[in-house]
Amino acid sequence: MNVRKILTTLTASLLLTLAAGQAPAAEPIKIGSFLAVTGGASFLGDPELKTLQMYIEEINAKGGVIGRQIELVHYDDGGSPKKSVNFAKRLIQKDKVDVIVGGSTSGSTLAVMPLVDRAKTPFISLAGSVKIISPVQYWTFKMPHTDAMAAAKIYGDMKQRGITKVALISGSGGFDKSGRTQSLQLARQYGIEIVSDESYGAKDTDMTAQLTKIRDTDAQAILNFGFGTGPAIVTKNVRQLGIDLPLYQSHGVASKKFIELAGDAAEGVRLPASALLVADMLPDSDPQKPVLLAYKNKFEAKYGPVSTFGGHAYDGLHIALEAIERAGSTDKAKVRDEIEKTRGFIGTGGIYNMSPRDHLGLSLKAFKMLEIKNGNWTIVK
């Protein structure tokens, strides 16, 4: 007991001295974050944390924002919504952060939303689900495109090609199921009829049975909403069965890994993806190009291959800091209002134009329709 008392006193006095020593400098701006740095969703949280740390270091070196340094307080939620709630509480009550940028998974974000609402703390989420912004929640914003937008982008492209009958095949994972629901809901709006709705298990190794059924329908194209090995196997099976229909994949497979796995079978596959994937192929007139290349080069110089997920953290951090700059303070209500007023912010995910009714602020233009040709991406005009 005594030792602890002494330690507490010592620490307290040390902190006081430190605070006194820094008295002339303003208190740092506190950015809070909870991310899935480890666990199954670490492919999201890991690049997100690296991005936040990298840019906060850079901005601090340049003197910070509104004359104040930035301090990142981050916790690893391992992708668990329960842990996220605990960490969000700690960020709000104990660390007293000014704004939260985090929430790698939709589950974590949705679990934390009621909390930030009660605490009246601005929260920029890095997760995908459309439920985060629809209906709009006063204190929550989000950066990544939604699966509904991916489906809409695909249907738009199909319409241009005169395709009206589509066979849907999707996996059993959360991403897959949500994509399937959005695809079914949006189909009518684009005048598209879903003639077949098949599914497969997350770890299934052969989808020829489902695709044989699809082959005998009058579908004009196949849409596969999936994640992991499933889409690569579907792509290979489609070619094996000699099905000649155009094959669409979702943004869930927007990585070089997919081309590597599916090999020659991937030729001609179309999918919507973030512009970051094809940054160097964009025309020079594209306003996003310099932002994308700068982020890509900076990240790759330090950590290796860039991913769209780290890009969301870049967008979230910069939107939050610009809002603080415009607000001229860290007053939470003012910062929230300024985030909502974000217009024409050029990020890695697209050009953000937020409004009280749209807390994402991206249009379908943010997605590029890509086609795989000769083992590489090409942009479909």
Partner 1 sequence: MFDQILQFVLTGVTVGATYALVALGFSIIYNASDVVNFAQGEFVMMGAMSAIAMSAGDGIPVFLSLPLAVLVTIGVGILLQRFAIAPARGASVVTTIIITIGASIFLRGVALLLWGKSIFAMPHFSGEQPIHIGKATLLPQNLWVMGGAAFLVLGVHWFFNHTTLGKAILACSCNRTAAQLVGINVGMMMLIAYGLSAFLGAMAGILVTPITFTSYDAGVMLGLKGFSAAILGGFGNPMGAVAGGILLGLIESLAAGLISSGYKDAIGFIILLLVLFFRPSGLFGKATSERV
**Residue ranges binding partner 1 (CB under 8 A):** 42-43, 172, 198-201, 203, 205-206, 208-210, 212-213, 216, 228-229, 232-233, 236, 240-242, 257, 260-261, 263-264
Residues 380/372, Cβ–Cβ less than 8 Å: no
- Phi, psi torsion values for 161, nearest 5 degrees: -90, 5
Token couple for 356: 């009280």
In this complex, which beta carbon is closest to partner 1, that of residue 67 or of residue 242?
A: 242
The residues, ordered by sequence, that sit 6+ positions from 100 with a Cβ below 8 Å of its Cβ are 31, 32, 33, 34, 88, 91, 92, 112, 116, 121, 122, 123, 124
In this complex, which beta carbon is closest to partner 1, that of residue 77 or of residue 198?
A: 198
Rounded to whole angstroms, the Cα distance separating 199 from 177 reads 9
Q: Min. distance of Cβ 228 from partner 1 in angstroms?
A: 7
Q: Min. distance of Cβ 305 from partner 1 in angstroms?
A: 11
In this complex, which beta carbon is closest to partner 1, that of residue 109 or of residue 199?
A: 199
Q: Min. distance of Cβ 180 from partner 1 in angstroms?
A: 11
Q: Min. distance of Cβ 359 from partner 1 in angstroms?
A: 32
Cis peptide before 135 (omega within 30 of 0): yes
Rounded to whole angstroms, the Cα distance separating 298 from 282 reads 18
Beta-bridge partners for 170: 199, 225
DSSP strand pairing (367-373 vs 376-379): antiparallel
In this complex, which beta carbon is closest to partner 1, that of residue 306 or of residue 339?
A: 306
Q: Min. distance of Cβ 133 from partner 1 in angstroms?
A: 29
In this complex, which beta carbon is closest to partner 1, that of residue 201 or of residue 375?
A: 201
